[in-house]
Amino acid sequence: MTIWHKWIMIFVLLIICFASIIFAISIGAKNIPFITVWTSIFQYNSEDNLHQIIYDVRLPRVLGAVFVGAAFAVAGTVIQAITRNPLADIGILGINGGAVLLVTICFAFYPAISYGWLTFFSFIGAALSTFLVFSIGLVARGNLSPLTFTIAGAVIAAFLHAISSGIAIYFDLNQELAFWYAGGVAGVTWRQLPLLITIVIVSIIIATLLGKQLTILSTGQEMASSLGINIKFLLFTSMGVIVLLGGVGVAVGGSISFVGLIIPHLSRKFIGHDYRWNIPVSALLGSTLVVIADLSARIIFAPKELALGILIAFIGVPFFLVVAKKLEGT
């Protein structure tokens, strides 16, 4: 694949992503023509009813889906690269679980917490559970197989979920938190977007800059250190990226599993193993997937809404099974 093919691929994916955004804005309880969507973004008219629907309701939600999807997808790509585990995903491994736990604690003890602090604590939770998951790899003296590592992560996820549920039940928070467990972007507001967008874009840029080293690392640690790569620094920075993306993703969209599992596989299919390309492609694919999934969640059983996390699990689980099946064959 030449470099031109890759640029064309990115361009095509960008167009698909953009088209799905326009679709998602225009379809809903009130269908809005594409042209109105276009004019509402570029010539906003506060008198126009349709423009108000777009600006107040649909646009924040869709933008939330775009950046939450990109966050989970890129975090999945990075974690699959540094663990060399094709089953890794920050939802499955319990990193989201840590973020949800701290969000739960915040709600229990300080219900009036501002969104900025909530995001901050969500980072801390993600960092703690990242530390927990990776220290399991260190505690085990033998080499952990990808299957074993994934099981350990899944059990940590279950464990953290049990603790958050316990806290939620004791403080009677079930209603407020159901959204975080199930995952969704229905409640995204303009207030949340600047922080989300900044962090996601910065993290994606850092991850892309690490791309070359990640590519070498994913082929093997010995190879990477013999080529003079500072592995400790690389792992540390990558985990930082994962924590940032996971934390902000959970703070805005709740715990959505499987996006970070599915997308890296697709992006490897599309563009190969070079992470300098892989990471931006993952971001685009992740955005598209979550935007379309959120649109489907709104319209399949309209006027009722499906939970986004459940919908993605329906796609994600069969995918997970196929990968697990393949992994054993090698």
Partner 1 sequence: MATKRRIPFLLYISITLIFIFLTFFFSINTGSYQLSLLEVVNNLFGQGQDHNILVLFEYRLPRILMALVGGAGIAVAGSLLQSYTGNHLADTGLLGLHAGASCGLIIFMSFFSQKFLYAEILIPLFAFSGGALAAVSIVYLAKSKNGGINTNKLILIGIAVSALFNAITLFLSLRLSKDTYSFAASWLLGNIWGRHWIHVSILIPWVALFSFLAYHLAHRLNLLQVGEAFAQTTGINVKRTKNSALIMAVVLSSVSVAIVGNISFLGLLAPHLARQLVGSDYRLNLPLSALIGAGILLLSDTIGRSLFEANPIPAGILVSFIGGPYFIYLLLKNNRSV
Type of residue numbered 226: S
Binding test (CB under 8 A) with partner 1, winner from 170, 222, 232, 269 = 170
Binding test (CB under 8 A) with partner 1, winner from 8, 15, 29, 140 = 140
Angle between helices 193-209 and 231-253 (to 10 degrees): 160
Considering the rule CB under 8 A, would residue 79 count as an interface residue with partner 1? no
- Cα–Cα distances (Å) from 109 to 59, 96, 122, 128, 228, in that order, read 32, 20, 15, 19, 48
Q: Please report how close the Cβ of residue 198 comes to partner 1 at its closest, in angstroms.
A: 32
Indicate the residue among 19 and 158 with the shorter CB distance to partner 1.
Answer: 158
d(CA 295, CA 180): 19
Please tell me the number of Cα atoms within 13 Å of 134 on its side-chain side.
Answer: 19
- Cα–Cα distances (Å) from 259 to 40, 121, 135, in that order, read 30, 23, 24
Residue 113 has a CB neighbour count (10 Å cut-off) of 14
Please tell me the number of Cα atoms within 13 Å of 125 on its side-chain side.
Answer: 32
Indicate the residue among 174 and 226 with the shorter CB distance to partner 1.
Answer: 174
Q: Please report how close the Cβ of residue 102 comes to partner 1 at its closest, in angstroms.
A: 18
Number of amino acids touching partner 1 (CB under 8 A): 45
| Window contacting partner 1 (CB under 8 A); options: 105-113, 196-204, 269-277, 319-327 | 319-327
Indicate the residue among 283 and 293 with the shorter CB distance to partner 1.
Answer: 293
Indicate the residue among 112 and 139 with the shorter CB distance to partner 1.
Answer: 139
Indicate the residue among 14 and 163 with the shorter CB distance to partner 1.
Answer: 163
Local structure of residue 58 (DSSP, 8 states): I
d(CA 9, CA 242): 25
- Cα–Cα distances (Å) from 165 to 108, 139, 159, 169, in that order, read 11, 28, 10, 6
Q: Which of 294, 225, 320 is nearest to 64 (CA)?
A: 294
| Window contacting partner 1 (CB under 8 A); options: 43-51, 115-123, 135-143, 281-289 | 135-143
Site string for partner 1, 241-280 (x = CB under 8 A): ----------------x-----------------------
First and final C-alpha spacing in the chain:
26
Considering the rule CB under 8 A, would residue 182 count as an interface residue with partner 1? yes
**Hey, which residues between 3 and 22 contact partner 1 (CB under 8 A)?**
none
Residues at the interface with partner 1 (CB under 8 A): 87, 136, 139-142, 144-145, 147-148, 150-152, 154-156, 158-159, 162-163, 165-166, 169-172, 174, 178, 182, 257, 301, 304, 306-307, 310, 313-314, 316-318, 320-321, 324-325, 328
